[in-house]
């Protein structure tokens, strides 16, 4: 009678090699997906601000009253972790009609506009007062140091996003 040794299954070495390859692939996928998520979040924060910027300017140009009866200027007040949409030319933190928008966690917004305010003139939508050189808004991802600088001209037109 012959003794046959049946070999079923995989050796320990084969299992370890396959597991190492799978873990390597999984780590690459995780890194790629997290990078895409950061990019999407950053783009979302940037384009949400731009949409709000253009909306405030449009309200000023159209003479929107928001139910107050009189057309007014519309403005944006920028704080490092949020910005506020408001009517009028002077920011009042206690005004109940202010609309506060928080930037996503890990994002910071800054500006060179005087008093951290962008004021759109009633009827024209021009920025008033406008100072050349004090006309940028920066959105920064604190975790990745990625940032975009939005340059605006006196007519309230975004001239560049770098």
- The pLDDT of residue 37 is 72
Residue-wise pLDDT tens digits, 100-133? 999 988 899 999 999 999 999 999 999 999 999 9
At residue 1, does pLDDT exceed 90?
no
Sign of torsion over alpha carbons 104, 110, 115, 120: negative
d(CA 22, CA 44): 33
- Residue 34, pLDDT score: 66
This prediction's pTM: 0.78
| Residue 7 pLDDT > 70 | no
3-state helix, strand, coil in the chain (%, to 5): 35, 25, 40
16 versus 1: the higher-pLDDT residue is 16
What CA–CA distance (Å, rounded) separates 70 from 5?
95
Q: Answer yes or no: are the C-beta atoms of 92 and 71 closer than 8 Å.
A: no
Is the pLDDT assigned to residue 92 strictly greater than 90? yes
Is 5 or 61 the better-scoring residue by pLDDT? 61
Q: Does the pLDDT of residue 81 top 80, yes or no?
A: yes
CA distance 99 to 71: 18
């Amino acid at each position: 009678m012959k003794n046959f040794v049946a070999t079923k299954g995989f050796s320990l070495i084969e299992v370890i090699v396959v597991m190492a390859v799978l873990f390597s692939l999984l780590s690459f996928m995780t890194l790629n997906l997290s990078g895409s998520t950061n990019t999407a979040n950053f783009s979302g924060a940037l384009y949400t601000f731009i949409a709000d910027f253009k909306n405030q300017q449009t309200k000023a140009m159209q003479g929107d009253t928001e139910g107050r009866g009189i057309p007014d200027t519309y403005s944006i007040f920028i704080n490092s972790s949020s910005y506020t949409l408001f009517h009028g030319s002077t920011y009042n933190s206690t005004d109940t009609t202010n609309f506060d928008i928080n930037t996503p966690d890990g994002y910071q917004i800054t500006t060179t506009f005087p008093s951290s305010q962008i004021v759109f003139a009633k009827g024209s939508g021009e920025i008033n007062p406008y100072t050349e050189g004090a006309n940028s808004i920066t959105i920064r991802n604190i975790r990745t140091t990625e940032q975009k600088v939005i340059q605006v001209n006196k007519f309230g037109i975004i001239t560049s996003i770098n």
